[in-house]
Amino acid sequence: MQKAIYLDNSATTPVLEVVAHRMLGAMRDGYFNPSAAYGPAVEVERQLRSCRDTLREAASAQGYEVIFTSGGTEADNLAILGILERQRKLGACCYSAVEHPAVREPMGTAEARGHPVRVLPVDAQGVLDLERCEAMLDGDTALISCMHVCNETGAVQPIEDLAQLRNRRCPSALLHVDGVQGFLRAPLSLGQAGVDLYAVSAHKIHGPKGVGALLVRKGVPLSPRMLGGGQEGGLRSGTENVPGILGMQSAVEALRAMADMDQVLRSNKMRLLHRVMEGEPQAQVNGSDPQSAQAAPHILNLSLPGVRGEVMLHALEAMGVYVSTGSACSARRQRHGPALAAMGIAGDRLESAIRISLSPLNTVEEMDLAADAILAAHAQLKGFKRR
C-alpha cells in the first residue's frame, strides 16, 4: 500500500523532526519554570526571549510585543476582546465576511455587549472589496479585523491597502490581522503595513499544536483574558508552554531556511491544478487566479461538478489522499465555511467544493498521484445523483 498523500495542511501540518527533537530536549533537560530565579530557569527564560526575537524578525515586526498563547484562536480572542475591554465607549467593530470562527465568534460577543458590528464585503474572488468597505469605516470605528490569507480559498487580503483606508477614514481604529494561514507563506511586513495586532499558530507551520502568539504593536492597550500569576506582561497568565514555544521557534527557523519555498508550493499547486483541469475541464477554481499574487501558494479550492465535496473527500480518503471541504474548525457542524457563500457561490458549485492545501514537504510525484486520484474518483461518482 502506497504512503498516504496528505493535502490538508491548512487544517494542521506534520511536526518536523527538528521540532520534535527540540521539544524533547526541553521536556527532558530544560524543564525549569522560566519564572524561577535560579540559573537553569533563567536560561529557559532567555530561550523564550530568543523565540520572541525570531517571531519579530520573521514578521518584520520590530517594535512589537510577543505574547505567547495556546494557539491562533486564543490570540484572536485576546486581540479582539482585549481591545474592546479597554474601550471607553461602544465603538464599531468591522470584520471581513470570510473570517475564521476564531474572529467571528468574539465579534458576536462584542455585538452582544453593545458594540455595533459591521461585516466587510468581499468580491467574487473572495478578496476584500475596498470600495464597498470605505463607506462602512467611519469615525466611530474602534476595531477592524481581517485575515491575512483566507483559510478556505487561499485569497490573500490587501492588508496594506486596508491599513491605508483605515488611516484615511478612522485613524484611531486598531487593525487586527489573523495571520494563521499567511505567516511565512505570504509576504507582509507588519511594521510597514501598519498592522497593530497579528495572530499566529505553530501547528500550521509544522510546529506543535497548543501554542501560538499574538504580536502587538507597542503602545496598543489590551486587557488580559486570563488572570493569575502575571506571565506574558500580565496579558496571559499561566506558566509558559516551554516545549511548545521552543518547538514553534524551530519550526519558524526551519521554514525560513527552506530555499524557494514559495516557488515550490506554487509550482506543485499549479501542476496538480493543470492535471485536474486537463482531465475535467468543467472543474472550477474558487478564489483568486491561482498564479497571481492575490492567491496564496499553498491553498487551492476546487469545485468538481456533480459530486458533493463530502462524498469526494471520503472517496479520496479510501484512495489514501486526504483533502477537506473547508475549515477543520467547523467541519463537523457544516460542510462549508462562510467564504464561498460570501463570494456568491451557491448550488452545485458550492456543494462540490473541496480544499487542497499543500506543504513544502509535498512532492511533485504526490501532485500527479493526487490529481489522478481526484479524476478517477470524480469519473466514478459523477454518474450518481442524490435522491
* pLDDT tens track for 266-292: 999 999 999 999 999 999 999 999 999
| Average pLDDT of the segment spanning 40-65 | 98
CATH number belonging to domain 17-256:
3.40.640.10
Report helix, strand or coil for 77: helix
Instruction: Evaluate whether 325 touches 345 at the Cβ level (below 8 Å).
Output: no
Question: What is the band of 336 on the pLDDT scale with cuts at 50, 70, 90?
Answer: confident
Question: What is the band of 75 on the pLDDT scale with cuts at 50, 70, 90?
Answer: very high
Q: What are the strands of the beta sheet with 284-285, ordered from one edge?
A: 284-285, 299-303, 353-357
pLDDT at 175 over 50: yes
pLDDT of residue 328: 56
Q: 178 pairs with which residues across the strands?
A: 199
Catalytic residue among 51, 133, 150, 329: 329
Instruction: Evaluate whether 323 touches 315 at the Cβ level (below 8 Å).
Output: no
Question: What is the band of 386 on the pLDDT scale with cuts at 50, 70, 90?
Answer: low
pLDDT at 149 over 70: yes
Architecture of domain 5-13+259-381 in this structure? Alpha-Beta Complex (3.90)
What average pLDDT is seen over the chain?
95
Per residue in 105-142, pLDDT (tens digit) is: 999 999 999 999 999 999 999 999 999 999 999 999 99
Known catalytic membership, residue 93? no
How far lies 78's CA from each of 163, 184, 265, 297, 356, in Å? 20, 22, 32, 29, 30
User: The dihedral of CA 302, 307, 308, 309: what is its sign?
Assistant: negative
DSSP conformation class of 143: E
pLDDT of residue 325: 93
pTM: 0.95
Grid coordinates in use for 301?
A: 479550492
Per residue in 342-367, pLDDT (tens digit) is: 999 999 999 999 999 999 999 999 99
| DSSP output for 19-38 | HHHHHHHHHHT--S-TTS-S
pLDDT of residue 277: 98
Instruction: Give residue limits of the domains in the chain.
Output: 5-13+259-381, 17-256
| Average pLDDT of the segment spanning 75-92 | 94
pLDDT of residue 89: 87
| DSSP output for 154-208 | -BBP-HHHHHHHHHHH-TTSEEEEE-TTTTTTS---HHHHT-SEEEEEGGGTTS-
